[in-house]
Amino acid sequence: MKLIVAIIKPHKLDDVRKALTDRGHFGMTVSNVEGFGRQKGRTEIYRGAEYYYDWVPKVKIETAVPDEFAEQVIQIIIESARSSKIGDGKIFVLNLPCAYRIRTGETGETVL
């Protein structure tokens, strides 16, 4: 299993969610975060306003997927989160040794 962590522009969240669910991928955790990339946060546009702050608002998506679907999910996120402007974000992929469904106690890929 892989844990896919995507940092995206907040206004792209609905597009990413729809793109993933339309293709049959369900289950994600979302957080509002702040960060900066190589522009050091200086010149980004957010909701029409230019941000000169050190920290730019972003959304973090975390979704756990079986290995066989990881590449597809990554490509869907890239396509649906892209505006082709600076600050579109990053995707980090982590190996995920195990997962549990709390209600049943089951473990393995069937919990995803």
Ligand X SMILES: Nc1ncnc2c1ncn2[C@@H]1O[C@H](COP(=O)(O)OP(=O)(O)OP(=O)(O)O)[C@@H](O)[C@H]1O
- Which residues contact Mg ion by CB under 5 A? 37, 39, 86-87
35 binds, among Mg ion, ligand X, none (CB under 5 to 8 A by kind): ligand X
Residues binding ligand X: what is the number (CB under 6 A)?
A: 13
Q: Which of 7, 19, 61, 73 binds ligand X (CB under 6 A)?
A: 7
CA distance 52 to 78: 26
CB 21 within 8 A of CB 10: no
Least distance from ligand X to the Cβ atom of residue 84, Å: 9
CA angle, residues 14, 17, 22, in degrees to nearest 5: 120
Q: Which residue is nearest to Mg ion (CB)?
A: 37
From the list 37, 46, 62, 109, which residue makes contact with ligand X (rule: CB under 6 A)?
A: 37
Q: Could you say which of 10, 17, 30, 36 contacts ligand X (CB under 6 A)?
A: 36
CA-to-CA separations, 89 to 6, 20, 25, 40, 48, in angstroms, rounded: 7, 17, 21, 13, 17
Structure tokens at 43: 């010149």
Closer to ligand X by CB, 10 or 66: give it. Answer: 10
